Each structure stands twice: as C-alpha cells, then as structure tokens.
Structure 1
Amino acid sequence: MKNLNKEIFKDEYKINNGKYIFIPVQEEIVTDFLDKIKYKLKKFNKIYSALIEVVSPVYPQPFFDARKIIRNEIKGKNVVALNLGSGNSDFGNDLINVDLLPYQNVDVICDIENIPFKDNSIDYIINIAVLEHVPNPQKVISEIHRILKPTGKIYCFIPFMQPFHASPYDFQRFTYEGMKHQFKDFNIIKIKSIGPTSGMLWVVQEWFALVFSFGIKPLHTFLYLFFMLITFPIKFLDVLLQFYPMSKNMATGFSVWAEKK
C-alpha cells in the first residue's frame, strides 16, 4: 500500500487488503470470450501491459508520455499524483492508482464521477483510455478540475478512431474539436493526435475478422486475434506519422495536456 495522506480524502472509507474503499466492492463484468481473456490476463499486470503496448493495434504513445511525465514532473518531487481509472496498471509508487474495481494494484476504489478527494488537493492526474468507458465524461472532467490544485495538471488520452471495446461498457469517442470542448475550463497546453496508422489498423483487423467469420462469433474472435498477431507491427509507422499535421483526421485518439486555471 502506498503511503497516502488521509487528510486529502473528503468522504468516509473502509480499508481492506491495503485498499481505501469508498463504494461497495464489485467484480468486473465479463461480456464475451475476448473479455474473458482480457480479464484473466489483467491479473498478470506486466504481461498484460506488455501485450497492450506491443501486440494491440494502438501505438502506445500515451504510455510513453505518461512515463516521461512521471520522470520529469512527478518522481522525487513533493506532489500528489493520481493514475485515474488505472485498471490494474501500475506506473510505480509515485502515483496513487484509483479505479472502480478492486484490481491488485488499485489503491483507492471509488466511482470517478464522484472522486473522494478534497477540493484543490491533487497536483497531477494521468488518465489514459478511460473516459470512453464512463457514461458522463464531462462529470469526470469536472471532478478532475475540482480536485486539482490551482495550476495542477492533467494528462488525458481519449480514443477517436477505434472500434467498440467494452470494458465492460463503451459509450463515446471524441474528435480534436471535441477534446477542446471537453477541456474548455482548463488552460489547454497541447493536444496531440496519436496513431493515424493505429486508427486504420484496428478497423482493418475487425473488418477482416467480420468478413471471413461468416457471422460465426467464435470464429470472429479467433480471426480478430489472428489478424492482430500478424499485422500489429504496422502500427509502429506511427513513430513518424503521428507528427503529420493532418493525422488528426484519422487518429486513433488524442492526448491533451491541460492546466487548471
């Protein structure tokens, strides 16, 4: 368990197995066979993280960005930083992992539409591929704004060109202009498009699985994983292509760096 200062909490909590619990504990909802595979792999954090970064169709720029932020702006400094909507990911002891579900690496279990931290109590928040899975993303962003200290910072990645991926739910996508609107109450430092190749590749993998499965769902899952395994290296073209000015038109998603005004 990380050494949390309990004074930053605004709500009552219980402690169980080193986790601060603010809501009734629930298990992950598994929706299909692929979800079952992901659910089992999530218990092995390093393996799952490696598969996401290497084999998944999305170029892992957000994870590179997060590690750079931790290294340059958080590590060794007197700041309170959250990995909000962490799942079972873990960037180390410099971030407090906050999630709805009781994964092994989670420190605080809560609903991120009602974050149990006091106003103006957090210095930095990292939020990667989470807001598409919440029904009210603007409520979460408002909560982020509330708990950040003045000039506190948020790094957030939200998908744009990605197929449906329930975990267990999947509600929305955002364009470049949509990102600006969502973070209108912040001072936006930068918005960066991520992965135009990734935006294409995931759709193509799903399309081939759809066409050649002939409507047979188990075959679709097998083919999707097969096409992912044989085509994932293509995504690394985004090392360069993500910097092309018009990559935002078909980006897999957008990262925003923003500061509380």
Structure 2
Amino acid sequence: MIAYHDEKRDWLDSIKYSFKKYPNFYNFLIWLISPVFSYKKDSYKRIVKYVTNDKNAIILNIGSGPFKLEKSFINLDITPFSNVHIVADATQLPFKNNSIDAIVNIVILEHVPKPEKGVDEMYRVMKNKGVIYTHIPFMQGFHASPHDYKRWTSSGISQLHHNFIELECGVGAGPTSSLVWILTEWLALFLSFRIIPLYKILFVMFTLILWPIKFIDLILIEHPMAKNIASTFYYIGRKEKDT
C-alpha cells in the first residue's frame, strides 16, 4: 500500500470502489458473484484461541477496507473508507514496537509494492507471543486495488512469514475458484476480438453466469492436492522472541 491519493483506477476497480461506499451490499455481492468462494472466510477468528483472554487485547485489521469484521478490531486502511479508524501505509505503521496483540490482514499484501516490508512492520509492532493472520492469493487473475503485484504458493506464504512460528497454514479458497476466475477472463478475451468495451461487457456477463460453479469447492477444498491450484491460502503465526 502506498500513500493515499486519488489516482486513476482501472475500470473494474473503479466499479468496486463505488460499491465499497455501501459495505454491507458490497460484501453481499462479493460473496454472491465473485469467482472466489472463500470457504474459510471466517478463519481469521481462529486467532482468538491463540490470543490471551485479555478483553483489552489490541487487534489490528490492516487493509480493512470499509468492512467491520469485529467490533473490537481497529481498522487501518490506506483509503479513508467508512469504518476505517486509522488511515496509514501498511509499510509504515503508526505504532510503537511491541504494542499490538494480534494482526489480521486479508488479501491486501498482493497490493503492497514491498509485501516483505509490510510483514516486517507487522512483526515490529506486535507484542511477543502476539499472533498474525494473513490471507493471500495464489491462483487469481490481476485485480488492481489500485495496484496488484504478487502471488504466493503454500511454501511462499510460509517463507513470507519466516520470522514467525507457524501455527496453521492451509487453503483458504479452493481450485474451483481459480478455475472460475481464469475461465471468466479467458472467455471474455477470446470472444471480444480485441474490442475492449466488448471485453468489459463479456467479463461482467460471464461473471454473472459462471459464479455458481465456485461452490464445487465445497467438495474439493479439503483434497490433499488442492494446494497445487488453490485460489488463496491463509496463515496463522506467532511472534516468539527470546529477549
């Protein structure tokens, strides 16, 4: 994430940005017609069992967008959406060292030019024994918000968090989600004959037609080899320091 300013967005991101002004409706649309079926969408709640039963625990949601996952979470984003408490850059967090109990970041690191620096910042501000939850893409098409830089394999997400002790790592959205996304893009490309306005129309049309297929992931997501073409992975880790 970079410093916020009104820069030119691509056509699809402009549409999404407009809908983000209505968080509940946008969240419903994403669940319904997005090519990605986040079977373990609420897996961020798993961090609760790893965080001490301190009601005053500080839990930070980085890259929150307009969404309020939990009332107790502090929402931080590069863009001043509704429900955002702090507007800041993920690579320059405005917190002291060892001050945060837990951090949640869901599909935001692919939009950060230097994601490793972002994870290092999370490590810096986190208390010893603090817990991180990360959800990032693997097999997904380009989706600017407002930029899009990287993807990670299952081993890649573990390497990205090499300073943490891994507690859990698994498939967040399965292989059918990958297929639906790529097929939607491919059909729009193939049938648009290089006519960009037609491509945009076809992309929206196939998004509306193909989205139900993603629910096949209810069958495939637990397959031992699903990680080979998974749409996303999630990671839970703990900060452990001897000193």
| TM-score (norm: length of structure 1) | 0.85
Q: Give the CA deviation at 1:70.
A: 5.8
Matched-pair identity in %:
42
SS in 2 for 1:225: helix
Q: Give the CA deviation at 1:73.
A: 5.7
Say which of 147, 154, 159 aligns to 1:176: 154
Aligned letter for 2:237? A
> For 2:40 and 2:112, how far apart are their aligned partners in 1?
19
> For 1:74 and 1:251, how far apart are their aligned partners in 2?
32
Root mean square deviation, CA, Å? 2.1
Stretches of structure 2 that go unaligned for 5 or more consecutive residues are none
Which 4+ residue blocks in structure 1 deviate beyond 6 angstroms? Answer: none
> For 2:143 and 2:221, how far apart are their aligned partners in 1?
22
The equivalent residue for 1:239 is 218
> For 2:181 and 2:106, how far apart are their aligned partners in 1?
18
Question: Residues 116 and 176 from structure 1, CA distance in 2 versus in 1: closer, same or farther, beyond 3 angstroms?
Answer: same
Q: Deviations over 1:167-219 (max 9, x none)?
A: 11001111111111111110011111131111111001100011111111121
Aligned letter for 1:43? K
Say which of 8, 19, 23 aligns to 1:41: 19
Q: Deviations over 1:222-241 (max 9, x none)?
A: 11111111111111121231
Aligned letter for 2:233? F
Q: Give the CA deviation at 1:33.
A: 2.6
Question: Residues 67 and 75 from structure 1, CA distance in 2 versus in 1: closer, same or farther, beyond 3 angstroms?
Answer: farther
Say which of 86, 89, 96 aligns to 2:67: 89
> For 1:148 and 1:178, how far apart are their aligned partners in 2?
22
Q: Give the CA deviation at 1:25.
A: 5.5
Q: Please tell me whether the aligned partners of residues 74 and 81 of structure 1 are also in contact (alpha carbons under 8 angstroms).
A: no
> For 1:138 and 1:76, how far apart are their aligned partners in 2?
29
SS in 2 for 1:153: strand
Say which of 101, 104, 125 aligns to 1:147: 125
Q: Deviations over 1:44-98 (max 9, x none)?
A: 0001111112210111235321356569969983210011011111113210100
| Structure possessing the higher relative contact order (Cα contacts under 8 Å, 6 or more residues apart) | 2
Q: Please tell me whether the aligned partners of residues 154 and 259 of structure 1 are also in contact (alpha carbons under 8 angstroms).
A: yes
- How many residues get paired? 238
Stretches of structure 1 that go unaligned for 5 or more consecutive residues are 1-22
Q: Deviations over 1:29-53 (max 9, x none)?
A: 3423322211110100001111112
Bigger shift: residues 140-149 or 213-222: 213-222
> For 1:86 and 1:92, how far apart are their aligned partners in 2?
11
Q: Give the CA deviation at 1:141.
A: 0.4
The equivalent residue for 1:259 is 238
The equivalent residue for 1:207 is 186
